[in-house]
Amino acid sequence: MNLSTIKRTKEDKIFDVINISLLTIMLLAILYPLYFIVIASVSNPDRIFAGDVWLYPLEVTFEGYTRIFQDGKIWIGYKNTIIYTVIGTILNVSLTLTAAYALSRKDFYGRNFFMIMFVFTMFFSGGLIPTYLIVQNLGMVNTMWAMIIPKAVAIWNIIVARTFFQATIPNEMLEAAKVDGCSNTKFFLKIVLPLSKPIIAVMVLFYAVGHWNSYFDALVYLNNESLYPLQLILRNILIQNEAAATMVSDLDSVAAQQRIADLIKYGVIIVGSLPLLIVYPFIQKYFVQGVMIGGIKG
């Protein structure tokens, strides 16, 4: 039966109108604040305070961005965040995939016990102070490793990846590989990983976004500004107004300093979010596919 020939009832049409209206309102509620930040970051602050800026920028100026990128702390933060994100994501994905694959194997003795131990940590943890003491005793306080090692693995991601392997890699494939003399390591590297691009993309996105947006760990474990990630520097600009005051210190008028500081606050939000917004469209296809497959019970 051709669905296009089915006659739609009045109730169906009313439902469509209500559904589309609600979704449109939700879309605008999400997109407009982001759009406003973009246009506000290049508009005259006086026009923003007057309420004139709401649909398009007025009296366009890029002074806020100029001062942001002239500040050395921003570039240091970018460098540190890229290092933390790249190294951390590689470690995260490597440990997650190897653990998930091992737990997905039915011939792995004790896999249920290890899975219970992993899941237990999702509900119970030592808390912030014991975690800090462990990091301190390991000599990682005020080092880059404090941003990477303590959160090397996310248990939920292991569960998702394990489910993906169970649903995608049949035992018959492993048995056939063993007949040809393939070892477990070679099977994982040469067969499993090439077939797991969707879940790898999902894991990379999850972990990379987590590292890129992380600031609390730096707030707890780091006191050397040369190690601060970008998000902590942006936090200081937005909340504590420390770096923003430094960027406008050359202006004599307090009013002028406040105007430019407001531009800087809008600008740093864009600076901190733009890299992820650029990367996401390229892995969106794998992201959706991996989440759907990983969410199916194997």
| Per-residue pLDDT tens digits for 217-262 | 999 999 888 899 988 888 877 775 555 555 555 555 566 667 777 7
Residue 294 is predicted with a pLDDT of: 52
Among residues 21, 7, 47, 74, the alpha carbon closest in space to that of 246 is found at 74
Q: Residue 288 has what pLDDT?
A: 65
CB-neighbour burial class of residue 107 (10 A; exposed 0-12, middle 13-18, buried 19+): exposed
* Mean pLDDT on 65-88: 87
Domain boundaries, the chain: 3-63, 64-294
The two three-digit tokens of residue 47, written as one number: 């026009």
pLDDT for position 94 = 94
**pTM as predicted:** 0.79
- Average pLDDT over every residue of 199-216: 88
Class of domain 64-294: mainly alpha
Overall average pLDDT of the 4-16 stretch? 76
The rounded distance, in Å, linking the Cα atoms of 38 and 23 is: 23
pLDDT of residue 242: 52
Task: Give the per-residue pLDDT at 257.
Answer: 67
Which carries the bigger pLDDT value, residue 154 or residue 280? Answer: 154
Instruction: Output the six-digit token pair for 261.
Output: 């500081």
User: Band of the pLDDT at 298, cuts 50, 70, 90?
Assistant: very low
How many angstroms separate the CA atoms of 190 and 195, rounded?
9
pLDDT at 195: 87
Lowest average pLDDT, out of 11-15, 181-185, 291-295, goes to 291-295
Helix (H) / strand (E) element for 247: namely helix 242-247
Q: Tell me the average pLDDT across 194-200.
A: 86
- The region of weakest confidence among 37-51, 71-85, 89-103, 232-246 is 232-246
Contact 97, 203 (CB under 8 A): yes
Least confident of 109-123, 169-183, 186-200: 169-183
Residues with Cβ within 8 Å of residue 219, at least 6 apart in sequence: 232, 235
Mean pLDDT lowest among 102-111, 193-202, 283-292: 283-292
Count of alpha carbons within 13 Å of 71, Cβ hemisphere only? Answer: 27
DSSP reduced 3-state for 181: coil
